[in-house]
Amino acid sequence: MTLTERSELHRLPNRGSHQPETIHAVLDAGFLAHIGFQSNGQPFVVPTLYGREEERLYLHGSAASRMLNELDAGLPACVTVTLVDGLVLARSAFHHSMNYRSVMAFGSARKIVEPERKSHALRVISEHLMAGRWDDVRPPSEKELKATAVLEFSIEEASAKIRTGPPLDDEDDYDLPVWAGVLPVGLEARTPVPDARLHSQVAVPRYMSSWKK
């Protein structure tokens, strides 16, 4: 990955990193991205699932998707992923914050046309979301593959930004009788809800009961 002004960290650069291993760790811990691009002068930001393979992100959707078709035309795009780890409650309103891990990646995308590469990319997305699931389910049919657009987003450059730790109050505020600290938050899997038409003998897969991001 290269580094230019668009991925340079200007505010609180001490919280940032351009190291691939840091960027990959954040991308691997998430699964929901927001894709920013501009079409005919109008900005758009669209949420979508993704999967990562090396310096590539795979995106998918309907073959009629405006976002996927616009990106396939070569428009520059920005992919952001943010994970919130805690609400940081300070003694003053000004110093409230949050603990988070985030990545901002820049690049361009192209549609994958070859059926084998397309199926592989869909497997990467599926396994990124729920490892072990792809081998359990029916693979996409030829008709379903044709109805699905899959894009390969090449990460040209990216930056990560991470905040951890307690609130940072003004020294004079530490004596205020106000609770301060961190309220940890995160994504949590709850008890699976079976489909109404699920056969009674089908058990909950082990990979689902141990799911964690």
Task: Note the pLDDT tens digit of each residue in 140-185.
Answer: 999 999 999 999 999 999 999 999 999 999 999 999 999 999 999 9
CA distance from start to end of the chain: 25
pLDDT tops 70 at residue 99 = yes
Please state the rounded mean pLDDT for residues 81-110.
97
SS3 105: strand
- Please give the backbone phi and psi of residue 126, each rounded to the nearest 5 degrees, phi first: -60, -45
Is 105 within 8 Å of 6 (Cβ atoms)? no
> CA angle, 146 as apex, 140 and 148 as ends, to 5°?
75
Which residues, other chains included, contact 107 with Cβ-Cβ below 8 Å and sequence gap of 6+?
A: 76, 77, 79, 153, 154, 155, 156, 157
Q: Which amino acid is at 192?
A: P
> What pLDDT, on the 0 to 100 scale, is given for residue 165?
97
> CA angle, 7 as apex, 50 and 152 as ends, to 5°?
30
Q: Which amino acid is at 106?
A: F
pLDDT tops 70 at residue 31 = yes
In eight-state DSSP terms, residue 15 is G
Strands 16-17 and 148-163: antiparallel
Q: What CATH fold (topology level) applies to the domain 5-172+183-209?
A: Pnp Oxidase; Chain A (2.30.110)
